[in-house]
Amino acid sequence: MTQIGSNIKKLRTVKGLSQQAFADLFNLTRGNISSYEEFRAEPKISVILQMAKYFGIPISSLLEKKLTVNEILNFEDYFKEGSEKVNTKNLLEVPFLSKSYIQENPENFEINDFPTFYMPNIYNANLLAIENNSLIPNPIDFNFEESSILFFEKVKVEILHTLQDNIGFYMNLNEIFFGRFHVDGKEIKLILNDWKEKKFQLNEIEHFWKLHSKYEKVH
């Protein structure tokens, strides 16, 4: 079990927020917050990411530590270089393809070179996080906000039957694009537009990803 429930309650107390006021920040209900604080449930990863970003708290600390008042009020100083390393044993390391990385490495998409961050290991999936931006070609019906973070899971044989009409991502060492999967019998294609598509082959399965979830900034 993580420390997220205790830390939500501590954050509310320090920031002077009621359960309802805290819930309103993240499009939740007062009942949601109550269940988190009483350890009857835990937030979805998309909600945890929103909380971490909103309060400027590292995700690993929000999950692993029992935060103190001083830590909440002084995160810039507390999480300086050389501070105590957080135990990442129960966290999932996720590669992150950002706009700045693409600008610096326009034709070198080696996933092992991507920066990474940690998130709760509550999904049995191999994930890749991508910052949506104009440098990645996408279909005409790709309705995601600029700079939203999209999480993709690596395609496996076991999920091929779920791909139809789902958003996908293709990546090899020098090419990337978002597309939509089309399944016709045993033929699977990731289609960008009328002129560009990639036919799925089992020997190239590591290049194909399926949309898993998304994170968008709370306005």
Residue 96 lies in a domain: yes
Whole-model pTM: value is 0.63
pLDDT of residue 108: 87
Q: Are residues 184 and 109 in the same domain?
A: yes
Rounded Cα distance between 219 and 65, Å, is 28
Residue 83 within a domain:
no
Given a contact cutoff of 8 angstroms between Cβ atoms, the answer to whether 208 and 190 are in contact is: yes
196: CATH = 2.10.109
Element (H, E) at 178: strand 175-184
Same domain, 105 and 74: no
Quick one: 67 and 105 in the same domain?
A: no
Are 169 and 97 within 8 A, CB to CB?
A: no
56 and 137 belong to one structural domain: no
Residues 6+ apart with CB under 8 A from 21: none
Residue 161 tokens, joined: 């039957």
Query: What residue numbers bound the domain in which 156 lies?
Result: 91-215
- Judgement on whether residues 202 and 166 belong to the same structural domain of the protein: yes
Domain count, the chain: 2
How many Cα atoms occupy the beta-carbon half-sphere of 162 within 13 Å?
12
Per-residue pLDDT at 83: 41
**What is residue 76's predicted lDDT score, i.e. its pLDDT?**
41
Q: What is the CATH number of the domain that holds 66?
A: 1.10.260.40
Shared-domain flag, residues 144 and 207: yes
Residue pLDDT tens, the chain, 219 long:
689 999 999 888 777 788 998 999 999 999 999 999 999 998 988 888 888 888 888 888 888 888 877 667 654 433 343 444 455 566 788 898 988 889 888 888 999 988 887 776 666 678 999 989 999 999 999 999 888 889 999 999 999 999 999 999 999 999 999 999 999 999 999 999 999 999 999 999 999 999 998 876 554
Q: What is the pLDDT of residue 216?
A: 63
Instruction: Indicate whether 117 and 160 sit together in one domain.
Output: yes
Residues 70, 126: one domain?
A: no
Q: Are residues 68 and 102 in the same domain?
A: no
178 near 139, Cβ under 8 Å?
yes
Q: Would 124 be classed as within a structural domain?
A: yes
Q: Where are the alpha helices (DSSP H) in 56-118?
A: 59-64, 69-73, 75-78, 99-104
Mark which of 50, 78, 106 sits at the end of a domain.
78
Look at residue 89 in the predicted model and tell me its pLDDT: 60
Statement to judge: residues 150 and 44 lie in one domain: no
Q: Is residue 167 included in any domain, yes or no?
A: yes
Statement to judge: residues 96 and 199 lie in one domain: yes
| Beta bridge partners of residue 209, listed in sequence order | 154, 169
What is residue 73's predicted lDDT score, i.e. its pLDDT? 63
Assess whether 74 and 150 both reside in one domain: no
Residue 84 falls inside a structural domain = no
* pLDDT of res. 161: 92
